[in-house]
Amino acid sequence: MASCIDLVPWARLHIIPLQLCLLAWWRPALQSLNPLIPLYRPLQEHLFWWLNRRHFFKGVLLEQESAQGTLVTDASQSGWEEPHINNYQIAGVWSPPQYKVKRINWLELKAVQLALQTFLIKVQFKSVLVRTDNATVVSYLNKQGGTRSPDLGYLASDLLKWCINHNVKIQAVHIPGNKKYFSRYPVKRENDHSFDRMGITYDKSEFVVPSSYIGTPVIDLFATSMNKKLPVFCSPWPEETAVSIDALSMKWTNLFNYAFPPPIILNRVLQKYRKRTV
């Protein structure tokens, strides 16, 4: 089974529950190979899945599918705070009392689950990029669960099964903290006619020079309303004047664009450009 986790779709999702059961009843460092492991009914579903040969012939993509939408989530001990996909936002509080005693990792993952369920009409039959500042959530989503925290593993399993049943494909990326994420797009000071991106300051007139040779781009892909170079721009977070959110999730086909991305995502920008699925 373990040899198939990277070759068979959803193999991890159906092997991790078996690993959790094994670790609950057997300690390899302290026990021999002889103890009997009880097989509970919920585990039979996963074992029968492995007996179905059709799962082994589906194969996996060599490259990740380009995201058709981006979901940004965040959570705290009081609630899930303004998750948004494209220009649509929601928020909520933890109403069941038992949620308030959960660890922050569980709450962050629960926020992803609730946001996907709320935005079902916008994510169904699509590939969605989940952006979160919680590295544990990213790991549990991309690896289809985990064994370090059974509570978190079961929640991840429920979330991913929901995605399968509703034809939603997800992949997760880590935002290194909201403050760091937003600081990549500095705000223009009042009465300041220069623009600062990533610590590089230059006058707006400098942008006109290359345009006289190659023409004027249509859209500024990585900007905010405070530092945009063009009237049409794509922002990393919801803005009324932005044409879209998260340039990496939109198509760039036949689009003459201007791109000045933050260094932290430069590699992803180059990968998207090479794939020509832009």
pLDDT tens digits, 233-262:
988 877 888 888 888 878 887 778 888 888
Q: Which of 196, 188, 251, 192 is nearest to 219 (CA)?
A: 251
Q: Do 127 and 195 sit in the same domain of this protein?
A: no
Tally the domains of the chain.
3
C-beta neighbour count of 190 within 10 angstroms: 5
- Answer yes or no: do 198 and 173 share one domain: no
H-only helix segments in 64-188: 104-118, 120-123, 135-142, 150-165, 178-182
Q: What pLDDT, on a 0 to 100 scale, did the predictor assign at position 275?
A: 73
Q: Is 160 helix (H, G, I), strand (E, B) or coil?
A: helix
231 with 190, same domain: the answer is: yes
Question: What is the per-residue pLDDT for 80?
Answer: 79
Highest mean pLDDT among 6-10, 78-82, 188-192: 6-10
Structural domain containing residue 241: 183-275
Within this chain, do residues 32 and 84 fall inside the same structural domain, yes or no? Answer: no
62 domain residue, yes or no: no
pLDDT of res. 100: 75
Whether this model's pTM surpasses 0.75: no
Give the residue among 134, 139, 142, 223 at the shortest CA–CA distance from 177: 134
The CATH number linked to 132 is 3.30.420.10
User: Are residues 200 and 167 located together in one domain of the fold?
Assistant: no
Q: What is the pLDDT of residue 182?
A: 40
- Distance in angstroms between the alpha carbons of the first and the last residue of the chain: 36
Residue that wins the pLDDT comparison between 194 and 37: 37
Q: Are residues 173 and 188 in the same domain?
A: no
Does residue 63 sit within a domain? no
Same-domain pairing of 91 and 169: yes
pLDDT confidence tier of residue 214, bands split at 50, 70 and 90: low
Q: What is the pLDDT of residue 256?
A: 85
pLDDT tens profile 32-74: 888 888 888 888 899 999 999 999 888 887 777 778 888 888 8
